[in-house]
Amino acid sequence: MQQLRPAELKAWLDDPQRPRPLLLDVREEWEFERCRIAGSRLLPMREIAARLSELEPEREIVVICHHGVRSFHTARFLENNGFANVINLAGGVDAWAKEADPAMPTY
């Protein structure tokens, strides 16, 4: 499974020449309300299996959570279900706040 550090994802999102991936945030709603990467879509990990049909298997998807563990497991699940372009955000939003967006609230 491919993994990106926050600085790599930020460079990707800042590049107008690259198509934007789906930023799939698998945290809980209260976590998403506290802080999130702009443009992220919330789909809690516990709902992924039931809502798999809402996602496009060929689209580039960056899976995001708090520290990168839930997103890693979700990304693996997506790969095992035919999703070809899944990337885990290593370190999650916590690392994003430290490495890419120091103004982002943390918890």
> Which H/E stretch holds residue 34?
helix 29-34
**Which residues in 63-102 are b (16+ Cβ under 10 Å) and which e?**
bbbbebebbbbbbebbeeeebebbbbbbbbbbbbbeebee
Q: How far is CA 35 from CA 24, 38, 94, in A?
A: 14, 9, 10
Q: Which of 26, 61, 65, 87 is catalytic?
A: 65
Asked if 65 is an active-site residue, the reply is yes
What H or E segment, with its residue span, contains residue 4?
A: strand 2-4
Active site residues: 65
